[in-house]
Amino acid sequence: MNNPPLVSLIIITMNHEKFIEQACLSAISQSYPNYEIILLDNASKDKTFENAEKVLSKFDRPYKMIRNTESFGVAKNINIAVSHASGEYVSLLSGDDWLTEDHLAEKVSYIQKNLVDFILSDGYKYYQSEDKMTDAYSPKEKKQIIDTLYRFFHENVSENKTANVGTFVKKELLVKYPFDENINTEDWDMNLRLTSKGYKIGFIDKKLFYYRILSTSLSRNWKLMKDSYEKVTHKYLDYIKADKELYKKYQLKLIHFKYEILLSETDSESEKERLRTEWKKEKYKVKYKNPVLFFKLLMLK
């Protein structure tokens, strides 16, 4: 590749001392020839920063280390790191995930051959507590994403359907449209914000990342997820309400959060059973507007 563009590989990390070495080794082992590493430690209380610097200092690859003195949200941390980036493109990585060696090479090749502004890809999910690896998407899920890329915003505005590990984006877009620092699901929000403005998203049908799922992952915290979901969708609520199917999906998602929160707050099995029954009723009321059909289906369940 003649004069390959500079890529800034940004690693955002906090209390990842057990995992940061793997993330850094995957960053330092990229086959792509022209990139820098920017690691931002979000005021870790363990040895994350020291472990990362120990790994990165052993290799002849440009890197910058940023250490917060106080803790911020992921979105603000990314915005800070981007302000230190020199690359034409930015690739994002969490300190508990890791990348394949050809990750950057594949992303740069794709974005130079296709009229897109940012890229997602296929990958793996690794469940830490179970020591289990699975595909990030089922074949059906992946086909759906690829087939509907041309209307990505519409498909994802009521529910995030992508695993946003290793997001690769033109730096100029992150400067022009910084991450929303009031939202926890900042990656989903960015995807919607850029596609709503007409920027094009690409998807590489190759497994280029490993997404580590921990028992403490944000996706397990239902109250935070509900709050973030409402903040993101509120931006596009008029669009959602104007489409009957989207609005139905939106309502079902709110019901889902409501009952997951209630279930997480009780240890009583009888109360859990009651809540599941109520959940089922509310869900069917939204899904089936015909009262007769609704009660028939409810009886079958």
Residue with tokens 């939204």: 286
Domains contained in the chain, CATH given = 7-218 (3.90.550.10), 221-300 (no CATH)
The mean per-residue pLDDT over the stretch 261-284 comes to 93
The set of residues, in sequence order, having a beta carbon less than 8 Å from that of 8 and lying 6+ positions away, is 35, 36, 38, 82, 85, 86, 87, 89, 90, 91, 171
Question: 164-173, 177-186, 209-218: which range is least confident on average?
Answer: 209-218
Encode pLDDT of 55-108 as tens digits: 999 998 999 999 999 999 999 999 999 999 999 999 999 999 999 999 999 999
Residue (of 66, 96, 61) closest to 79 by Cα position: 66
Q: Which two tokens stand for residue 221?
A: 């915290």
Share of the chain above pLDDT 90, in %: 87
- Under the phi-then-psi rule, with left for phi > 0, alpha for psi from -120 to 50, and beta for the rest, what region is 238? alpha
Supply the pTM of this predicted model: 0.90
Q: Are 258 and 281 in contact (CB under 8 A)?
A: no
